[in-house]
Structure 1
Amino acid sequence: MNRSVPDWMKSSLWPSFDDRHHAIVDTAETPTPRSSIPPNQPDTAVLPPPPQRVVSSPPAPLSHHASETPRSTPAPLLEDASRGDRFHAALSKRNIDLAELRMLTAEGVPDSGGIRSVLWKVLLGYLPTNRDLWAEELRRKRAQYGSFKEELLLSPSELARRLEKFNGMENEDSCAGSGLLHRSEITHGEHPLSLGETSIWNKFFQDTEIMKQIDRDIKRTHPDMDFFCGDSPSAKLNQEALKHVLAVFAKLNPGIQYVQGMNEILAPLFYVFRNDADEQNAAQAEPDSFFCFVTLLSGFRDHFCQQLDNSTVGIRSTMSRLTQILREHDEELWRHLEITTKVNPQFYAFRWITLLLTQEFNFTDSLHIWDALLSDPDGPLESLLRLCCAMLILIRKRLLAGDFTSNLKLLQNYPSTSVNHLLDLADKLRGLPIL
């Protein structure tokens, strides 16, 4: 027998969407393949935000010094400035309290004042909690990334030139400065036509194909944002930085290399760091993004490895966990999706999980969602699964009324909603007893 609707869902805090404002297309979409993850186009319905969380009010500029607030300043700005001051105070401590920082983040992060850039670096462990170590740690990591680029993004011709220069230091008879090796010095493995696995040219051509894929994906990253796309010099520099980060990652991780969709995970990190209020830190957005990208992806990288799809750490296992969480909190909805309409999670949750919800919401809302992901003491994956479950529950009325076709269309084009509302429901799921 189906379990009844949980009492907590009957609260007026969780109203259902008005079905009259949503037109459902009666054509089913095919499951989204790993190699092609299109951007989302949400509906227009908006849920009323709950009063306790404030993340969307216009932020006021913040400084490290208190100043008198004009009497005409609106109350939302005062509240946002107050939260900004609390963040600055927490991040200015010699030894940062992560528990305090996570608590503040749960209340919402102002969109300006340079808070999010430093906050994410601390939450991801890129910056240690001891502020005295920041300068040396940043210097060391940024120099290390520079070495990675120097060693990994060279063409075989440049490698040959440097090898010749090195040999010329030991042998005065070498052709120093010519950029070419003597014919007798070119081994079979170094010849451009060699197909050997150890051939630097064969490896270079393989890397070239990866770079072409990266280049195509970077050009499709948030095409509606001038920051990422366009012909401006700044946009082109940003694109080059993203390419470098993904190329270095691919070379350092030959087992996984680059998989389409990684660009969408890198984009929020680079955007936040490149817009740091501190110009010196903003100029170092590329190396900072690389290390934070590696840290973040370490918890999700198995989702990008097709060989692990059916393993206990693969994407199928993670999607099964999502359906189990849904069943524990709302068995009626789970039964309707899984058994009645047979809308399996691979039809919609694959993109939700692998791209960390970056394609289901507008960019600004995605940043607020990532605040929650990165600050969750249970880890980003656990937070992500609760958010995905909350997404299903928020539209349960429409899903329960729908068939396979309408539900598939709805879940593959998730309707606009209040992110405040979504985050609060996800928080509520954390502490709810299992039915």
Structure 2
Amino acid sequence: MFHSPQMVKKRVPEWLNSSLWSSSTPSPSIDDDLVQRYTSNPTAAAAATTTPISSYSVSDSDPPSTVDPPIPVAPPKSTREDKHLPEPQFSDSFPDHEDKSNNTAPSPEDISRQSQLLAELSRKVINLRELRRISSQGIPDGAGIRSTVWKLLLGYLPPDRGLWLSELAKKRSQYKHFKVELLMNPDTEIIEQIDRDVKRTHPDMHFFSGDSQDAKSNQDALKTILVIFAKLNPGIRYVQGMNEILAPLFYVLKNDPNEEDAASAEADTFFCFVELLSGFRDHFCQQLDNSVVGIRSTITRLSQLLKEHDEELWRHLEITTKVNPQFYAFRWITLLLTQEFNFADSLHIWDTLLSDPEGPQETLLRVCCAMLILIRRRLLAGDFTSNLKLLQNYPPTNISHLLYVANKLRVQSSG
């Protein structure tokens, strides 16, 4: 039966019509050869954009400025003799930003949340439900607590702090064994691909890029983790883009103010990476592309989510302008939004993703849906070419507002 546009049009709640709140500069557009698997007509999509879709490209005429996000401040060394129950080391101060113009005082909400997290982490047995609730609103950059919280959220650290020393010792020893056993006969082809990708990971950040010894050491750690993962997972091996998922984990854990934990960041990051990827690994397996757990199915769920909450926008994108969600949502989903926002904002988004007790995928889809709704006015006014360009180069937005809208979608769906 034919329905007129007036009959199918849903009224969008007023709170969804909030204008974009400007925050930080967008990341450069990247699309890699993985996209070829997921687009029905990638050539047409590429031709529709005014800038070429290339792998990790940064315009030569507009080189990125090299500025790192805030690094947690290390506290004074502890003089405590009791080492039976590890005390997380945290700083009471917030770090200085390299860009002093952006160095604003922490908000009362950040200070309150930091206090709540510190209180929760001081318990002998941590209440994970409460930790997830607090962390879902974002973990303040100061105090260096994100590393410990992420390890807990990913299940790498048990809630009982009395078990931390033994668990960490066991896992770190296991990783050393992996390095000895699995790096003896390296796969040259995989190593070369990993090496290429790691070298172009966040070229605008001193932590990952440059000629410093620290940057080279950090790159070597990323390469080693990815090679070991590929060896242990022959069904998937290494897939381009995994380096982008690994980078935030290693950055956060390497900047742990606890010197011993920072020194073991490579081992800890490996196991956290395995935990994180366990919920998304099917997206990287080409044989599962068309299955219920494959990337196509996940992208379809995003399309259905948009239709449920904003049918007018869904219809304009997919029916009127024929913007296939695979043209943009593939990268959003497989790389966990690491390429759509600056690094610090990505960490904030990951706080929310990792806090979901059901795993990050459902929250990820809601955030992706919220991204579409926040720019609905521009999308509704656009055609295929302009909309595709906009979605492949997502504009700056206020992350707290984005996550607020995403959470509203959760409430609406459950209600």
Instruction: Report the TM-score when normalising by structure 2.
Output: 0.79
Is residue 2:251 matched to residue 1:271? yes
Contact 1:62/1:84 (<8 A) preserved: no
Assess, with a 3 A threshold, how the Cα gap between structure 1 residues 257 and 367 changes in structure 2: closer, same or farther. same
Partner SS for 2:142: coil
2:178 counterpart residue number: 148
Q: 2:151 aligns with which of 121, 125, 135?
A: 121
125 and 429 in structure 1: CA distance in 2 versus 1, 3 angstrom threshold: same
Q: Deviations over 1:218-253 (max 9, x none)?
A: 000000001001110011100100010000000001
Superposed CA offset, 1:148-203 (max 9, x none):
01000014xxxxxxxxxxxxxxxxxxxxxxxxxxxxxxxxxxxxxxxxxxxxxxxx
Q: 2:242 aligns with which of 262, 269, 275?
A: 262
Q: Report the secondary structure of 1:113's partner residue.
A: helix
CA distance in 2, matches of 1:409, 1:270: 31
Residue pairs, 1:374-389, within 5 angstroms? 374-389=354-369
| Residue equivalent to 1:300 | 280
Of 93, 100, 113, which residue of structure 2 is paired with 1:83? Answer: 113
Partner amino acid, structure 2, of 1:6? R
* Distance change >3 Å, CA 57–CA 333, structure 1 → 2: farther
Instruction: Give CA deviations for 1:87-121 in whole Å, capped at 9, x if unaligned.
Output: 11101111111111111112321112121000000
Residues of 2 paired with 1:211 and 1:395: CA distance?
40
Distance 1:381 1:364 in 2: 20
Superposed displacement of residue 78, structure 1? 5.1
Question: For the Cα contact (< 8 Å) 2:74–2:91, is it kept in 1?
Answer: no
Is the Cα contact below 8 Å between 2:209 and 2:216 reproduced in 1? Answer: yes
In structure 2, the residue matched to 1:179 is none
Q: Compute the displacement of 1:83 (Å).
A: 2.2
SS in 1 for 2:202: coil
Identify the match of residue 38 of structure 1 among 56, 74, 92: 56
**In the alignment, residue 14 of structure 1 is paired with which amino acid?**
S
CA change 1:260–1:380 in 2 (3 A) is same
CA distance in 2: counterparts of 1:390 and 1:12, whole angstroms: 9
The equivalent of 2:200 in structure 1 is 220
Alignment partners' CA distance in 2, 1:395 and 1:65: 38
Q: Any gaps of 5 or more consecutive residues in structure 1?
A: 19-26, 42-55, 69-73, 156-203
Counterpart amino acid of 1:125?
Answer: G
Classify 1:262/1:82 alpha carbon distance in 2 versus 1 (closer, same or farther; 3 Å).
Answer: same
Out of 155, 160, 173, the position equivalent to 1:130 is 160
In the other structure, the counterpart of 1:332 is 312
Tell me by how many angstroms 1:82 deviates.
3.2
- Aligned residue-pair number: 355
> Residues 16, 89 of structure 1: CA spacing in aligned structure 2 closer, same or farther, 3 A cutoff?
closer
1:219 and 1:355 mapped to 2: Cα distance?
Answer: 17
Counterpart position of 2:343? 363
Q: Match of 1:163?
A: none
Give CA deviations for 1:379-407 in whole Å, capped at 9, x if unaligned.
20001100100000001111111111111
2:173 aligned counterpart, secondary structure: helix
Equivalents in 2 of 1:291, 1:87: separation in Å?
A: 23
How far apart, CA to CA, are the structure 2 residues paired with 1:103 and 1:62?
26
Distance in structure 2 (CA, Å) of the matches to 1:102 and 1:411: 30
What is the match of residue 406 of structure 1? 386
In the alignment, does 2:376 pair up with 1:396?
A: yes
1:432 is aligned to: 412
Contact 1:61/1:81 (8 A) holds in 2:
no
Alpha-carbon distance in structure 1 between the residues aligned to 2:221 and 2:90: 34
Q: 1:379 to 1:347 in 2, by over 3 A?
A: same
Q: Is the 8 A contact 1:57 1:80 kept in 2?
A: no
Give the C-alpha shift of residue 376 in structure 1.
1.3
- CA 1:266/1:12 → structure 2, altered by over 3 Å: closer, same or farther? closer
Task: Give the number of the structure whose alpha-carbon radius of gyration is greater.
Answer: 1
Q: Offset at 1:282? A: 0.4
Which deviations, in whole Å up to 9, do the C-alpha atoms of 1:352-390 show, x marking residues without a partner?
A: 011000000000000000001000123200011001000
* 2:206–2:215 contact (8 Å) kept in structure 1: yes
In the aligned structure 2, how far is the partner of 1:238 from the partner of 1:399? 40
> Which structure 2 residues correspond to residues 171-186 of structure 1 after superposition, within 5 A?
none
1:76 deviates by 3.6
For residues 233-282 of structure 1, give each alpha carbon's deviation from its aligned partner in whole angstroms, at most 9, with x where no partner exists: 01110010001000000000111100000000000000000000101100
- Tell me the distance in 2 between the aligned counterparts of 1:389 and 1:88: 32
Alpha carbons of structure 1 residues 146 and 403: separation in structure 2 relative to 1, 3 Å: same
Q: Are 1:90 and 1:96, in contact at CA under 8 Å, matched by a contact in 2?
A: yes
Matching residue of 2:19: 15
Answer yes or no: is 1:245 the counterpart of 2:225: yes
Letter in 1 for 2:251: Y
Once the 2 structures are TM-superposed, how far is the Cα of residue 28 of structure 1 from its aligned partner? 5.6
